[in-house]
Chains A and B, each alone.
Chain A
């Protein structure tokens, strides 16, 4: 069974940094792109970027370029989302999801989401 399991809820202060993890299982982790999606409270879905675990090739949304960093550790089948210099506006739920592949960039399996609260 394909699963993506994300790290737990985080509460941070403004200016702090954060790393969210997303561990895949049940499939060849290195063969599928992993995307990250943000959902602010009561709002819609926003694509942050996507990484290919096979070679760490990364694509970022122009709207989030420079604000987020994606990385991956194939040895533990885990992708990471790094957020630096957190602001209150980074308060959101963050999802990782697997792209279908073979040129199809829809997202077929999703993590459970990680709720991030940034507050002083």
Chain B
């Protein structure tokens, strides 16, 4: 399986900050990477797919970049609604999809 490692596992930030979450794959996944946001008790929400394509309806404050093994999710001007847990997911190998361990963004 391709292993996905996210860092940091927890991130404390303030409203208005710009934050960056990284995701590293154990082998190349080309651009087959998605980012999700999850709030407690709710289903994950797709933010970005194919590494940098913003999903419809998602704020342009979210952006993704990277290819191969190293990826980032950047959130500009953090808003109260953005405090949540974020997951990356690779789908290079569609018979063995894997998620990162998650990054919790909480209020400093």
Interface flags for A35-61 (1: CB within 8 Å of B; 0: not) read: 101000000111100100000000101
| B71 interfacial contact with A, CB 8 Å | no
Which listed residue (A61, A100, A111) contacts B97, Cβ 8 A?
A61
With an 8 Å Cβ cutoff, the count of chain B residues facing the other chain is: 25
Whether the Cβ atoms of A110 and B44 lie closer than 8 Å is yes
Q: CB-CB < 8 A to A35: which residues of B?
A: 97
Whether the Cβ atoms of B44 and A44 lie closer than 8 Å is no
| B62 interfacial contact with A, CB 8 Å | no
| A106 interfacial contact with B, CB 8 Å | yes
Give the interface SS of chain B, mostly helix, strand, loop or mixed.
loop
A-B contact count (CB 8 A): 62
Whether the Cβ atoms of A46 and B99 lie closer than 8 Å is yes
A63 to B101, CA, bound (A): 16
CB within 8 Å of B: which of A64-103?
95, 97, 100
Q: Which residues in B have some Cβ–Cβ distance to A below 8 Å?
A: 1, 32, 34, 36, 38, 42-46, 49-50, 55, 87, 89, 91, 94-102
Q: Which residues in A have some Cβ–Cβ distance to B below 8 Å?
A: 35, 37, 44-47, 50, 59, 61-63, 95, 97, 100, 104-108, 110-113
Using A61-B96, A104-B32 as known contacts, list a sample of 7 further A-B pairs with CB atoms less than 8 Å apart, ordered by residue number in A: A44-B87, A44-B101, A45-B36, A45-B99, A61-B97, A95-B43, A107-B46
